[in-house]
Amino acid sequence: MRKIEHRTWICLLIAGLLAAGLLVFIVLFFKDGGQWASASFNRHLYSSSGSLLSGRLLDREGNVLSQVEDGARVISGSAEQRTAMLHVTGDLQGKIATGALTVFADRLTGYNPVLGAAAIQAGGGDVTLSIDSDCQLAAWRALNGRKGAAALYNYETGEILCMVSAPSYDPLNVPDNLERDPAYEGAYINRVLRASFTPGSIMKTVTLHAAMEELPDLFDRTWTCTGSTQIGGELVTCTAAHGTQSIGQAFSNSCNCVFGQLAVELGADTLGRYVEQSGLTSSYSVDGISTTPSSIPLEGLSEGQLAWAGIGQAQDLVNPLSMMVYMGAIANGGRAAVPSLIGRDGASLIPGSWSVRRTGTLIDAGTAETLAQLMSDNVTYNYGSSRFGDLDVCAKSGTAEVGGGQNPHAWFAGFVRDEAHPYSFIVLVENGGGGSAAAGDVAAAMLAAAA
Ligand SMILES: [Zn+2]
């Protein structure tokens, strides 16, 4: 009797283990099945050179970006179009780790948990990206051979319409000197998703955001800029003596003296809290591609260094995509959609069930509205609104000193305040000089193509 009882327990234990194993398998099957099916050891899905042999990649208009022809994967378009699109589409060798051909390989095989391998053998699936090829090409041309990044997205739906990274190259005609020529340095990296740079004055948007919420008399104050001021052990300088200014004028003039003083008055802890709330130091998941968070270390800085950090210098490094999302949140009442590369219809097995993922509250709604008006004033009184046509653009420029005798980085960050064009954008021109002039022109070209 005792022996039987013992055996019963062993049977139950084995049955329990089997059930648990099956459960783990089912969960992993639905979660990772697509990746198993598209894994490189499934050789029948790949050519001898290692490129995926099923599925078409399309832009938002249905233009083919890449497909399989006569048993070989090709990347479509002219050499210029392929170069402009490289960091979106990816390459045939898999060097562009964040390219769609690599990260969406499971979707391209057409794999789904219900039909499984049957769908794969039928030639794979179509993956429609949110990218607008015309906008992409316009931004690439506006960068005009300079290194940098330009991106634009719909802050209501999350769709990325443009995501250019330079330097780039034609993936069907890879330059021999790609890995030696400094002109191609960092060509494999998507600068929008996976890099960060000294932000300069676009960072003043976050310092202003903090000051608006923490300093109740901010809008009653005036400051007099003589062109430089001593803060802690540091001489903080402006490009000119800005004279007596309101906070709005100081923001539009991008007055370093005022923003350095504001950063010190706020203190590292308080400013740090707003940096964190802004989402800049968060990593976003763009359909599974994790982005590089910005790095804004404030702790332990001297007063002088903290002043420079509030101006966007010191050790500040900003990821372009995170700034674009923050701009979207300012435009959209404090929360923005998380950026996505998959077009609305391609995001789900069930058509129409596409859902928007949203960020947390990156900025209070009331603060966002006031900040948007100040950013609109920047364009009206300083950057020039005529270059943006009829669009109501709100923006902040940045000219980031990078040292080493090099030209500063030019930045232009902002959004359109218009329900018909719910776009926010970011432009960086490395060593491009003045932010509004160099990066603002790229933003204007990109917006004109998207609108
Ligand atoms: Zn000044």
Q: What percent of the chain has pLDDT over 70?
A: 87
- Are 157 and 102 found together in one domain? no
Same structural domain, 289 and 324 = yes
14 in a structural domain: no
pLDDT given at position 142? 98
pLDDT at 54 over 90: no
379 and 291 assigned to the same domain: yes
Same domain, 117 and 242: no
Closest by Cα among 165, 401, 138 to 291: 165
Give residue 138 CA to ligand 1 midpoint distance, Å. 35
pLDDT level of residue 305 (50, 70, 90 thresholds):
very high
In a domain, 8, yes or no: no
23 domain residue, yes or no: no
CA of 140 relative to ligand 1 center, distance in Å: 34
Residue 9 lies in a domain: no
Rounded to whole angstroms, the Cα distance separating 416 from 21 reads 52
Calpha distance 226→317 (Å, rounded): 28
Region of 190 on the Ramachandran plot (φ > 0 left; ψ -120 to 50 alpha; else beta): beta
Whether residues 116 and 159 share a domain: the answer is no
CB 43 within 8 A of CB 115: no
What is the Å distance from ligand 1's center to 408 Cα?
Answer: 18
Q: Is it the case that residue 117 has pLDDT exceeding 90?
A: no
Whether 13 is in a domain gets the answer no
How much distance in Å is there from the Cα of 445 to the middle of ligand 1? 30
What CATH code is carried by the domain that includes residue 96?
Answer: 3.90.1310
Q: Is the pLDDT of residue 119 over 60?
A: no
pLDDT-above-90 percentage for the chain: 75
Alpha-carbon gap, residue 330 to 368, rounded angstroms: 5
Between 320 and 116, residue with greater pLDDT: 320
Distance CA 254, CA 258 (A): 9
- Do 222 and 261 sit in the same domain of this protein? yes
212 alpha carbon – ligand 1 mean position (Å): 19
**Judgement on whether residues 124 and 142 belong to the same structural domain of the protein:** no
Q: Would you say residue 75 has pLDDT above 70?
A: yes
Q: For residues 143 and 120, state if they share a domain.
A: no
Mean pLDDT of 319-342: 97
For residue 38, pLDDT over 70 is answered with no
18 within some domain: no
Residue 446 lies in a domain: yes
Least trusted range by pLDDT, from 52-56, 58-62, 254-258 = 52-56
pTM (two decimals): 0.89
Co-location of 165 and 192 in the same domain = yes
Answer with the residue of higher pLDDT: 124 or 367: 367
Confidence of residue 36 (pLDDT cuts 50, 70, 90): low
Answer yes or no: do 173 and 85 share one domain. Answer: no
Task: Report the pLDDT value the prediction gives residue 411, as an integer from 0 to 100.
Answer: 98
Q: Please say if the pLDDT value at position 28 is more than 80.
A: no
Query: Of 100, 129, 158, at which residue does a domain stop?
Result: 129
Q: How far is CA 187 from CA 78, 144, 177, 178, in A?
A: 19, 15, 12, 8
| 251 CA distance to ligand 1 middle (Å) | 10
Residue 12 lies in a domain: no
Q: Are residues 237 and 318 in the same domain?
A: yes
Q: What is the pLDDT of residues 142-197, one digit of tens each?
A: 999 999 999 999 999 999 999 999 999 999 999 999 999 999 999 999 999 999 99
Q: How far is residue 24 CA from its own chain's centroid?
A: 34
> Which residue, 129, 164, 188, sits at the end of a domain?
129
The first and second tokens of residue 45, run together, are 């899905």
Q: Measuring CA to CA, how many Å separate 253 from each of 207, 240, 421?
A: 15, 9, 27
Domain match, 95 and 214 both? no
**pLDDT at residue 214 tops 70:** yes
Q: Is the pLDDT assigned to residue 345 strictly greater than 90?
A: no
Q: How many domains does the chain have?
A: 2
Secondary structure percentages of the chain, helix, strand, coil, to 5:
40, 20, 40
- The last residue of one of the domains, among 82, 106, 129, is 129
Report the chain's mean pLDDT, rounded to a whole number. Answer: 90
- Structural domain boundaries, residue 120: 45-129
User: How many whole angstroms from 217 Cα to the centroid of ligand 1?
Assistant: 20
CATH code where residue 344 lies: 3.40.710.10
pLDDT digits (tens, 9 = 90+) for 374-427: 999 999 999 998 999 999 999 999 999 998 899 999 999 999 999 899 999 999
Residues with CB under 5 A from ligand 1 (ion): 225, 238, 242, 255, 257
